[in-house]
Chain A
Amino acid sequence: MGLNLKELRRLEAKANELRHITVDTVLHAGSGHIGGAMSVMDIMTILYYRFMRIKKEDPHWQDRDRFILSKGHAGIGFVSILADLGFLEREQLKTFNLTGSDLGIHLDCTKAPGVDASTGSLGHGLSIALGMAQAARQLNKDFITYCVLGDGECNEGSVWEAAMAVSHYNATNLITFVDRNRCMIDGDTEDVMKLEPFAAKWRAFGFDTLEIDGHSFVELNDAIEHALKAEKPVAIICNTIKGCGIDFMAGDFRWHYGAINEELAEKCHASLGKYYQTRLEGKGV
């Protein structure tokens, strides 16, 4: 079932709202991993607001779909969703990074309800996700596990150990996303440690591999619908922009982690406002 206009509008509005909330959280915290939070936002939005079966009143519901943010440093973006869903209080976002807070840069699943795994050490998420997917089969449950990796994260050998195993076990109840924003901390992924031919690597590991625009809900929707029916595990390489929506950050690896003050936050909000309009116009929404 493709996305209808109403649904598309709803997702666009939600992603926009979440990006604004994220800017505010970064402002309160003083700094944060804003670049990677913005690039992954549309992927998380379509998962949480269209596909994932979760219970807002029960974050620990046993049959829920699982989400592993393997690039755990994007926690500052993820908490916008957790607060919007009601797993966290909106006010709690203002404590992000403060001493003693339950919300730090890399989310702690023992403290933040709705977080399925404590990530932050890169290269762990896909293995954990595979464990969950295999557990679903053991337990005769039909939940789906979604996992998002950073592209720089894919330098880690452990990602490929997991990938080999996902395909070996033919874990079709696990969907792997890569946030392909082409940036890591020290530069462009291709300058620091070449990943290309990237899709070919995933294919060689046995994945049905799609390459899409990770900021297009239509393409994300089609890819996920395909993955949910596929007979092989699917990897969705989402071409994205680091700092997506904020003109002075977009595509700049130096905004991996950065500090913003009131003035910059205003600029972020203004830029996001314009970006939202262009997105709506571009899609004829």
Chain B
Amino acid sequence: MAGGISYTSDETTKLSTGEVYAKMLCDLAEQDPRIVTLTADLAKSTKIGAFMERFPERFYNVGIAEQNMFGIAAGMAKCGLIPFTSCFAIFTSCRGLDQIHTDICYQNLNVKMIGSHAGTSFGQAGTTHHSTEDIAIMRSMANLVVIVPADGLETANAVQAAVAHQGPVYLRINRGFDQAVYDSMEYGYEIGKAVQLHDGTDLTIIACGSGVFQAVQAARELASVDGVKARVLNMHTIKPIDREAIMEAVHDTRRIITVEDHTVIGGLGGAVAEVIAEGGMACAFRRLGLQDAFSPIGLHEDLMSHHKIDANGIIETVRELLQLDFEEDDDWTDEV
């Protein structure tokens, strides 16, 4: 089994998230000959071109034909290979969906799908290239693990975990550089286990992807300016979701905010809402993200602020939520 590879932030600060992914995949492929990669005229854009240079005979550029790519990957997986597809998140989750649904997920095949340029990270390219529905779409596919790493080092962890996991995986990464949440890969990354990045009892901010860094910033400012203790959970795995961490947060903090660079319908916010609704404990709840809208164009950081998923937007929502009066009953079971 491939794995056990560790990078330091010294190594990764010079690499964009896509480059970290490509580097890790090359290193894993060195150990595991089953790993092959496919792309659809996006070798350069998704950075997987590095793999093509190192393992040209294990690299397939199928041209601008995403559906074909996912079908080919399915066939390869059926014969024991571990295909990694590298494509924009939008063309993975939307264009390739029928193949992903029927050829990959239904047949429970060991295909790892990397969706790059996710959320609004390719902001200037507009709605045709924004990927703000993919978490919701991919989360609804049975058998599929859905991972949204917070930064480059977490992406490196997630790629290793994806290889170790038997079955289809969707890994959603951003264009360019992510702001660093981690300075080391040694924090106990595990598929399906949220990571607590800030402790608190007043409320919990549950975030994924680029929202995580913002949530941590917000929590720090809330602590120093407002004296508010916000817990921050990095929910890097959207499926299977960490129910325990969510319910613990509801129990301990009674106020939950989710943050994602994605529509609030069906993504992280939707997933968390489902857990809370079934958990039997009431709480105040807000979902931050795109409010059932397509995004304007612009720089990623500007769009994060437009959609109120940057630190300021989160802080604003936290202040609003903390003012809400709701009955705090110590005996939770009464409310079930």
Contacts and interface: CB of A to CB of B under 8 A. Distances in A.
Interface of A: 29, 72, 97-101, 103-108, 118-123, 152-153, 155-157, 184-186, 192-193
Contacts of A29: 124
Interface in B37-66: 39-45, 49, 61-65
A152 B128 contact: no
Given A118-B126, A193-B64, 5 more contacts: A121-B128, A121-B129, A185-B41, A192-B41, A193-B62
Contacts of B142: none
B128 A119 contact: yes
A97 B123 CA distance: 9
Contact of A120 (B42, B126, B302): B126
Given A108-B126, A121-B91, A193-B63, A101 B41 contact: no
Contact of B126 (A100, A104, A153, A155): A104
A186 B43 contact: yes
B70 to A, nearest CB: 12
26 contacts: A97-B124, A98-B298, A99-B296, A99-B302, A99-B306, A103-B297, A105-B126, A105-B129, A106-B129, A107-B126, A119-B128, A120-B125, A120-B127, A120-B129, A121-B95, A121-B128, A152-B63, A155-B64, A156-B65, A184-B64, A185-B44, A186-B39, A186-B61, A192-B41, A193-B62, A193-B63
Nearest to A31: B124
B31 interface: no
A184 B39 CA distance: 13
A32 to B, nearest CB: 9
A104 B124 contact: yes
B127 A118 contact: yes
A153 B64 contact: yes
A27 to B, nearest CB: 15
Nearest to B122: A105
B128 A192 contact: no
Interface string B113-139: 000000000011111110000000000
Interface in B55-95: 61-65, 67-68, 90-91, 94-95
A106 B68 contact: no
Which 3 interchain pairs have the tightest Cβ spacing? A193-B63, A99-B298, A120-B128
A185 B45 contact: yes
A152 B126 contact: no
Contacts of B125: 104-106, 120
Contacts of A118: 126-128
A264 to B, nearest CB: 19
B164 interface: no
B303 interface: yes
Given A101-B297, A105-B126, A186 B44 contact: yes
Nearest to A107: B126
A72 B128 contact: yes
Contact of A155 (B63, B94, B124): B63
Nearest to A30: B124
B129 A99 contact: no
B293 interface: no
A107 B298 CA distance: 13
Contacts of A106: 125-129
B223 interface: no
Contacts of B123: 99
Most buried by B among A106, A153, A186: A186
Contacts of A192: 41, 61, 63
A214 B83 CA distance: 40
A104 B295 CA distance: 12
A115 to B, nearest CB: 12
A156 B91 CA distance: 12
A186 B62 CA distance: 11
Given A98-B298, A100-B297, A101-B297, A185 B127 contact: no
B322 interface: no
A108 B129 CA distance: 12
B41 A155 contact: yes
B64 A100 contact: no
Given A99-B296, A99-B303, A186-B44, A123 B64 contact: yes
Nearest to B65: A155
Interface string B137-152: 0000000000000000
